[in-house]
């Protein structure tokens, strides 16, 4: 079998251009801050003083004696220069602040672009890697199923080997479900997860979930109870994602409860802007403490190391479930009490 090349994350090159300090136009304050600016401003003040004094003298007293422009030329720089220097000082401070702001904005834009590119590259890499991993994993699971079929048919596979193959199949399935979670999460993060809108017959949907859910109960001798409201009818939504999230919650309930009762309750909630569907999974299991509740829906979060060691898992299920629910326009909430049990409730618009 030909091995495909491992996917390499795309390399992000971000070029951030530093803002130029050079003034970009006649009206930009750059030149005004320098000695050239002082000279220009002084010339303007001088010109204004001369013309104003000559004009005023002529209007008020007639012919202008030479002393008038001379006096204006002496007084104007004495009064104007300190004012001009003060004005230039203010302009300089303003220009400095503006330049610092421009530099910061450019740095911020570059950093944001860099972070977004890195995040896209990570999601892309994870999506490709997960895809590459699924092919050999499916082969491992497929071949172990063939061997088990041979064992069931009595085709020369002894019970000891069959038990080993069962372990390989179960480990393979577990690994596959983790890879699928990572793939889904990275697809969502890369904005490449689509949501279907198709009519779902809720009674039929629930029967299907209940059938799979019952199989999950056997391992820890739990009982599954289904409570369905009489007016369920149909909804418009993504049946695959809704099924995935509900089974995820049922899987958790079955995992963290022993010799207990798990209830799957589905109801329609009428609201002014349209009906919602509520799916609640309650259990009588170990419950969750307040600290863990706060960070339950974060990737790779498990209650503590002892839970991880005892029950396995990666802490991706709830993070993924919430993201899927939000993609469908809904959300998941939880209430729980350590030692008494938990209730996870997902709500989605009925469409």
Ligand X SMILES: Nc1ncnc2c1ncn2[C@@H]1O[C@H](COP(=O)(O)OP(=O)(O)OP(=O)(O)O)[C@@H](O)[C@H]1O
Which has the closest alpha carbon to 205: 230, 252, 242?
A: 242
CA 182, CA 265: separation in Å to the nearest integer?
29
Q: Which of 80, 285, 317, 351 binds Mg ion (CB under 5 A)?
A: 317
C-beta of 252: minimal distance to ligand X in Å?
3
Which region, judged by CB under 6 A, interacts with ligand X, from 43-51, 109-117, 136-144, 314-322?
Answer: 314-322
Q: Does residue 316 sit in helix, strand or coil?
A: coil
C-beta of 232: minimal distance to ligand X in Å?
24
Q: Is 30 in the site for ligand X (CB under 6 A)?
A: no
Q: Is 123 in the site for ligand X (CB under 6 A)?
A: no
- Cβ count within 10 A of residue 60: 7
CA 40, CA 44: separation in Å to the nearest integer?
6
Q: Is 182 in the site for ligand X (CB under 6 A)?
A: no
Q: Is 33 in the site for ligand X (CB under 6 A)?
A: no
Q: Which of 130, 144, 186, 252 binds Mg ion (CB under 5 A)?
A: 252
Which region, judged by CB under 5 A, interacts with Mg ion, from 46-54, 105-113, 246-254, 297-305?
Answer: 246-254
* 96 vs 298, beta carbon nearer Mg ion: 298
Total number of residues that touch Mg ion (CB under 5 A)? 2
CA 103, CA 97: separation in Å to the nearest integer?
10
Residue 268 CA neighbour count, 13 Å, CB half: 16
Cβ–Cβ < 8 Å for 280, 343: yes
- Cβ count within 10 A of residue 208: 14
Which has the closest alpha carbon to 154: 145, 166, 144, 162?
A: 162
Q: Is 285 in the site for Mg ion (CB under 5 A)?
A: no
Which region, judged by CB under 6 A, interacts with ligand X, from 14-22, 201-209, 264-272, 283-291?
Answer: 283-291
* 58 vs 174, beta carbon nearer Mg ion: 174
Q: Is 253 in the site for ligand X (CB under 6 A)?
A: yes
Q: Is 260 in the site for ligand X (CB under 6 A)?
A: no
Which has the closest alpha carbon to 329: 252, 273, 247?
A: 273
Q: Is 184 in the site for ligand X (CB under 6 A)?
A: no
Give the single-character DSSP code of 345. Answer: E
For ligand X, the binding residues (CB under 6 A) are 252-253, 256, 283, 285-288, 296, 301-303, 307, 313-319, 342
């Amino acid at each position: 079998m030909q091995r495909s090349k491992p996917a390499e994350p795309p390399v992000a090159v971000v070029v951030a251009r530093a803002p130029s300090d050079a003034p970009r136009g006649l009206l930009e304050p750059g030149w005004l801050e320098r000695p050239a600016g002082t000279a220009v401003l002084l010339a303007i003040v001088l010109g204004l003083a001369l013309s104003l004094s000559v004009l005023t003298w002529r209007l008020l007293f007639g012919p202008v004696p030479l002393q008038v422009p001379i006096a204006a030329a002496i007084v104007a720089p004495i009064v104007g220069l300190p004012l001009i220097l003060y004005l230039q000082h203010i302009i300089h401070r303003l220009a400095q602040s503006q330049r610092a702001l421009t530099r910061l904005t450019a740095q911020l834009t570059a950093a944001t672009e860099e972070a977004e590119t890195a995040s896209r590259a990570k999601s892309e890499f994870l999506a490709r890697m997960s895809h590459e991993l699924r092919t050999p994993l499916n082969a491992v699971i497929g071949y172990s199923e063939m061997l088990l079929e041979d064992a069931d048919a009595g085709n020369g596979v002894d019970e000891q080997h069959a038990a080993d193959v069962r372990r390989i199949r179960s480990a393979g399935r577990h690994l596959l479900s983790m890879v699928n979670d990572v793939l889904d999460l990275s697809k969502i993060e890369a904005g490449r997860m689509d949501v279907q809108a198709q009519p779902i017959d809720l009674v039929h949907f629930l029967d299907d979930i209940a059938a799979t859910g019952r199989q999950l109960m056997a391992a820890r001798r739990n009982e599954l109870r289904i409570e369905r409201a009489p007016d369920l009818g149909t909804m418009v939504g993504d049946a695959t994602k809704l099924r995935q999230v509900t089974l995820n919650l049922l899987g958790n309930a079955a995992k963290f409860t022993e010799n207990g009762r798990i209830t799957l309750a589905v109801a329609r909630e009428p609201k002014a802007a349209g009906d919602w569907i509520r799916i609640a999974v309650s259990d009588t299991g170990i419950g969750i403490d307040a600290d863990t509740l706060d960070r339950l829906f974060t990737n790779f979060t498990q209650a503590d190391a002892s839970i991880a060691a005892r029950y396995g898992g990666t802490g991706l299920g709830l993070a993924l479930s919430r993201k899927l629910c939000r993609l469908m326009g809904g959300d998941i909430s939880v209430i729980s009490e350590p030692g008494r049990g938990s209730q996870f409730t997902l709500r989605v618009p009925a469409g």
